Amino acid sequence: MAEVEKVLSLQDPIARIKAAINEHFKAGDCKLETVARSLGISRRSLQRHLETEGTCFRDLTDRSRRTLASKYLRDTNLNLKEVAFLLGFSEPSSFSRAVKTWFGISPSQYRRNR
């Protein structure tokens, strides 16, 4: 456990985990196991650390997806299918539903309102 704390305390642990999540989204493999492995800790150790911080992996990935979706829709010309893929959605329709939930409007409307 001391090794885990040492690894995660090198900087703000949540910031490090969020950065790892964002990198794994870009690589198309944002799973708890792969993020934990990239941080050099076990899956369970990562979960315990997040619990200590009052959050969970799903919450962090959802927040990262929302932030990245906003960025990609505002700042790029990627089509919606590409954005959905980059964020780990299996279908563009799933991405569209998520954007409507997050922002209250469709991805196309969000992009136009940027």
For the stretch 2-48, pLDDT in tens is: 445 555 455 678 889 999 998 998 887 899 999 999 999 999 999 99
Which fold is adopted by the domain 61-114? Arc Repressor Mutant, subunit A (1.10.10)
Q: DSSP assignment, residue 7?
A: H
Quote the pLDDT of residue 36: 96
User: Which residue ranges make up each domain of the chain?
Assistant: 1-55, 61-114
pLDDT value of residue 11: 64
Q: Taking 60 as the threshold, does the pLDDT of residue 73 lie above it?
A: yes
Q: How far is CA 52 from CA 1, 5, 13, 37, 85, in A?
A: 13, 11, 11, 19, 31
Instruction: Give mean pLDDT, residues 107-112.
Output: 94
How many whole angstroms separate alpha carbon 18 and alpha carbon 107?
23
Alpha-carbon span 106 to 30, nearest angstrom: 24
- Stronger pLDDT, 62 or 7, i.e. the higher one: 62
Looking at residue 70, what is its pLDDT? 96
Give me the pLDDT at residue 10, please.
54
pTM: 0.77
One-letter amino acid at 12 equals D
